[in-house]
Amino acid sequence: MPAASTRVALGVSYNGQRYRGWQSQPGGNTVQDHLEAALGRFVALGAPLPTLCAGRTDAGVHGLMQVVHFDAPVERTPFSWVRGTNTFLPPDIAVQWAQAVPAAFHARACATARRYAYVLLQSPVRPSVEAGRVGWVFHPLDGDAMRAGAAHLLGEHDFTSFRASACQAKTPIKTLHRIAISQRRSGGEGSESCYWRFEFEGNAFLHHMVRNIMGCLIAIGQGARPADWMAQVLAARSRDAAAPTFAPDGLYFLGPVYGPEWNLPTRTAAYDWLP
């Protein structure tokens, strides 16, 4: 009888700028396509090695700790899975860690929550060095107004107003546990520029949900809408009620949250540079 396969979990980081999102597509050039091809080459499978992820990301969206699992056809040490797979990956995708997990582990089904961050540059001048890695606004934002608007979204709600038309989720009812909004000045006193960081944690997210919420938060932050407009958008249960979808550039999938029983890493080195 052939030896039983070992289930392996990987933590993967990537810069999503030049990819068509996470999920494999017929035209290729997705993060999943590159990862599965690299795994297949590393184990000399002669074909890509299929994986399942914790949460899909759209074109242009980045991942600091995407988690995937797969059933390994060969035995390798965790160190070998990391270094060997990275040998065959492009420089903007990297396996951060690898760990053998029980056969009952499922990267998506075992996640209790997911976390995202959106990094936004507020500046009179568009981004250059950080182009594609941050969103951008040139009008000043009111942090207190945005926090008041975000408070309407906490808890369990029908998020249809923030759902893309192509969303495949079975239900628009999701639970947002936390939205945190912080500001960091990028220059000295009196500087017109700063970075905003928006963090979202929920049990699950709809297609474009964070980017659609961002569009509404920015409308509130710029004074185009009052904070309680967010409650009206939520209650409308109509995509037409919300602001346009905001750019993917500054959106980062921070990763899933798992119970302690799986003993998986909770962060990677990729977190450390993010404003």
Q: What are phi and psi of 100, to 5 degrees?
A: -70, 140
- Nearest C-alpha neighbor of 6 from the set 52, 75, 67: 75
Strands (E), the chain: 6-14, 52-53, 62-72, 93-101, 113-122, 135-137, 155-158, 173-185, 194-202, 251-257
Beta bridge partners of 66: 12
> Residue 263, CB half-sphere, CA atoms under 13 Å: how many?
5
Catalytic residue status for 240? no
H helices present in 128-255, as ranges? 143-151, 209-221, 229-236
Least Cα distance to 205 among 152, 139, 159, 259 occurs for: 159
Residue 116 · residue 61 · CB < 8 Å: no
Strand partners, 136: 121
The span from the CA of 70 to the CA of 62, in Å, is 21
How do strand 6-14 and strand 62-72 relate by DSSP bridges?
Answer: antiparallel
Burial of 88 (0-12, 13-18, 19+ CB in 10 A): middle
Catalytic one of 33, 58, 71, 249: 58
Phi, psi values for residue 12, rounded to 5°: -125, 135
List active site positions.
58
